[in-house]
Amino acid sequence: MIEASRAFVCVRPLTYESKEEAPFLESLFRTRNGELENTVFILLGPDGKKRLSNSGRTPDMVFGDAQSGGIEEMVETMRDVASRYKGGQSGELGLPVVKDLRRALDCAACDDLPLVVVVDEALSKRVARLAWSEEFIGRFTYVQAALGDAIDGADEGAGVVVVEPDAYGLKGLALAQEKASASDEELGEALREGLSRHKPTEKNQRSHVREGERRGIDWESEVPVTDPGIPRPGKGR
């Protein structure tokens, strides 16, 4: 699956966290209550419009689960699609960033990945070369943003900071950092250090939500939540 995905641009939608994305996702898939639900899966052509598969909430809904051979069918479909879209040489790949620091912290917490905060575009281009390398591909969430008060332990003047998001994606702790003038080798070492210090945590949705409610943690989404499976409509948690 991972090997097959390398021929695709894989997009992690923000769903209720983007007023621009939500209508597009809603046009691709709606279930039960006829409105946008929390996850959407589909294969699209390079124009972002042509449907190359059915849509669903998850790959399982489109191809079936592992027990029914769904993974094999999905990989076969992806390889067939890739053979029809060879792609072109468009220069270096950009850094796959989340919209802003607030949402990046939350995405990193949800995906249980360390977050790399890059403070400017010039650094983003340099970090992108590391991000797509075999060593680091798929290992981090990225954002280009000012550090702000949400990141504890970041040095003033730091250019790249690897961050451990808290359990609810509201704040983060600096695990490793480098100044903007650092060499590519030094930036790579900062990523390695941050990755080595990252502590993955296993979450159970029910206990995670219950603990968040006990602590009074809430999250106001950019657009109202319409998924009936998420409690308290209008809230992301």
Confidence of residue 218 (pLDDT cuts 50, 70, 90): confident
pLDDT tens, 88-136? Answer: 666 678 999 999 999 999 999 999 999 999 999 999 999 999 999 999 9
Q: Would you say 235 and 221 are in contact if contact means Cβ atoms under 8 Å apart?
A: yes
Q: Would you say 163 and 198 are in contact if contact means Cβ atoms under 8 Å apart?
A: no
Q: Tell me what pLDDT residue 235 has.
A: 45
Q: Helix/strand/coil (H, E, C) string of 27-48?
A: HHCCECCCECCCCCECCECCCC
When the pLDDT of each residue in the chain is averaged and rounded to a whole number, the result is 90
Q: What is the pTM of this model?
A: 0.87
For residues 189-195, give the mean pLDDT.
98
Domains present along the chain, CATH in parentheses? 2-84 (no CATH), 101-197 (3.40.30)
What is the percent of the chain with per-residue pLDDT over 70, rounded to a whole number?
95
Q: Would you say 188 and 195 are in contact if contact means Cβ atoms under 8 Å apart?
A: no
Q: Report d(CA 203, CA 205) in Å as an integer.
A: 6
Q: Tell me what pLDDT residue 90 has.
A: 63
